[in-house]
A and B are shown apart, each in its own frame.
Chain A
Amino acid sequence: KAGVTQTPRYLIKTRGQQVTLSCSPISGHRSVSWYQQTPGQGLQFLFEYFSETQRNKGNFPGRFSGRQFSNSRSEMNVSTLELGDSALYLCASSLATGPANTGELFFGEGSRLTVL
């Protein structure tokens, strides 16, 4: 069974640009959540999507947005990039519902964004 796939794995942008990151969840998983990991702030929850609807949102500015498609694939977008947005962005998928749900998040390897 394929794991969570995130693309691109590495990218470099300059301040003011925007970026789109993609996440393909494990087949059958309907929940996709996004986290930002930085050395200073650690792992911080961005948002979660379930069945194409944003179900939970973390405390990030509106420059951070996301969406989920009917096949459960998800994208997150960061507009007007700032230096502080440099981070590892992790995506996680979960069944999130039903008797087979174990409550486990399955994480991808992340997309490492560098903003210059």
Chain B
Amino acid sequence: AQSVTQPDIHITVSEGASLELRCNYSYGATPYLFWYVQSPGQGLQLLLKYFSGDTLVQGIKGFEAEFKRSQSSFNLRKPSVHWSDAAEYFCAVAFNQAGTALIFGKGTTLSVSS
């Protein structure tokens, strides 16, 4: 069965430090992978997605993610975190070709310290 695991429930990073959020997936075919962010009181916003091609994908707000098929991973990175990045981050895999039916991980809450 398809699944997404985000091993870290909560991460605290100092402002200006680098960030890596981990995501592992289980999916039989070529996955469509996503990272979404949810700020308090707001809906989910797409940060980036991987469908095919270059395994290093760039997203909004300076985020990037790397798809590693051999490790079934799609980790999210940012070189320098800003206080406004504090939010909950969700990794997801689509189980339909249109990419509209998603299985989400449980999320990682990011806190940013000054």
Contact = CB atoms under 8 A, between A and B. Distances in A.
A33 B44 CA distance: 13
Interface residues on B, range: 20 to 34
A66 interface: no
Contacts of A35: 102, 104
B15 to A, nearest CB: 27
28 contacts: A33-B100, A33-B102, A42-B104, A42-B107, A43-B102, A43-B104, A45-B102, A45-B103, A48-B100, A50-B98, A55-B96, A90-B43, A90-B44, A94-B98, A96-B99, A97-B98, A103-B32, A103-B94, A103-B99, A104-B46, A104-B49, A105-B46, A105-B100, A107-B43, A107-B44, A107-B45, A109-B42, A110-B43
Interface residues of A, number: 26
Contacts of B17: none
Interface of A: 4, 31, 33, 35, 42-45, 48, 50, 55-56, 58, 90, 92, 94, 96-97, 101, 103-105, 107-110
Given A33-B100, A103-B49, A109-B41, 8 more contacts: A43-B90, A43-B92, A45-B101, A56-B95, A92-B44, A105-B102, A108-B43, A109-B42
